[in-house]
Amino acid sequence: MYEGMIAETITISGHGGDAIEAYFARPLGSVGLPGVVVFHHMPGWDEWSKEVTRKLAFHGYAALCPHLFSRHGPGRWDDLAAAARAAGGVSDAQVMGDAKGAMDYLRNQPYASGRVGVIGFCSGGRQAYMAACTLPGLDAAVDCWGGRVVARPEELNERQPRAVIDMTPDMACSLLGIFGNDDGNPDVEQVNRIEAELTKHGKTYEFHRYDGAGHGFFAVDRPGYRPEQAVDGWKKVLSFFERYLRTD
């Protein structure tokens, strides 16, 4: 455990060189730290997303959560989420550019080990899966109940032009998936399809599916929180990162 840490909002260079906000937490006085980029969930860059970032720092990672709706600011995180929705949402290309900026920031710190993973929740889970398929140099990815990895043609548009499941052949790092069996998005059938695609293409992955849990069951401030499943799920996440981000 790393009980001493620094946590703050910083500015990083995101997609297209845009200056965006990011919440950054890291253990104090440690070197050789792996990094983790945190994709916040759809409601926005909220308090819980920052708690997740600090939790990762507590476990020895330099964690960085870029504010994906930052360009609509300045303003409150929930107003900026509403503004992003009013504008039609953020594009996949922009999100991946912001994630690349966050990865570069983490790798460039003097205390960095050079290894970097990603974790995402809800829409961020889909983005973590996409990062595993599109961002070179990623060492591990965790998809927590990412919705619309499996997408119908009518769900695709200019901002999200490609179904993420179709990117699976390009996945270049190990993947951990955490899902609730009561979730409607992704539902059990969709998770089965994703797993079949990963198997078909010989990817390294592990999925954990929890009974009695639905969407967002790690989020302690939401009614879907399921403590027993969440505690076990976090163990799986930390064990996975330990395996892929700390080993040489």
Partner 1 sequence: MCSWITEKTGIVAHGKGVSEWISLRTANVYYDHPASAPLDHALIIDFLNETEGPGARVAVELSAESARALVRAIEAALAAGEQCHESTSRTHTKERKTETADERR
Scan for tokens 């989420």, then name that residue. 81
Give the residue with the Cβ less far from partner 1, 138 or 178: 178
Q: Which is nearer to partner 1, 72 or 115 (CB)?
A: 72
Kindly tell me which of 75 and 137 has the beta carbon lying closer to partner 1: 75
DSSP conformational letter for 246: S
Contact 140, 60 (CB under 8 A): no
* Rounded-to-integer distance, Cα 33 and Cα 57, Å: 10
Q: Least Å distance between CB 144 and partner 1? A: 14
Question: What gap in Å lies between CA 169 and CA 166, rounded to an integer?
Answer: 7
Q: How far is the CB of 56 from partner 1 (least distance, A)?
A: 22
**Residue-by-residue DSSP string for 146-178:** -TTSS--GGG--SSS-S-GGGGGGG--SEEEEE
Nearer CB in complex with partner 1: 46/232: 46
The nearest distance, CB 59 to partner 1, in angstroms, is 26
Q: Footprint of partner 1 on this chain (CB under 8 A)?
A: 41-44, 46, 72-73, 75-76, 78-83, 85-86, 122, 214-216, 221-224
Please identify, using beta-carbon distances, which residue of 117 and 233 lies nearer to partner 1.
Answer: 233
What pairing do the DSSP bridges indicate for beta strands 33-39 and 62-66?
parallel
Residue type, 34: P
Residue 243 Cβ vs partner 1, minimum distance, rounded to whole Å: 31
Rounded-to-integer distance, Cα 149 and Cα 97, Å: 19
Q: How far apart are CA 99 and CA 9, in angstroms?
A: 16
Least separation in angstroms between CB 194 and partner 1: 21
> Closest distance between partner 1 and the C-beta of residue 62, in Å?
28
Work out whether strand 62-66 and strand 19-27 pair parallel, antiparallel, or are unpaired. antiparallel
Nearer to partner 1, 42 or 96 (CB): 42
Residue 216 beta carbon to partner 1: minimum distance, rounded to whole angstroms: 7
Q: Which is nearer to partner 1, 123 or 174 (CB)?
A: 123
* 7, 100, 116, 132, 173 from 245: Cα distances, Å: 21, 17, 7, 14, 11
Q: Which residues pair with 96 in a beta bridge?
A: none
DSSP bridge pairs for 119: 38, 142
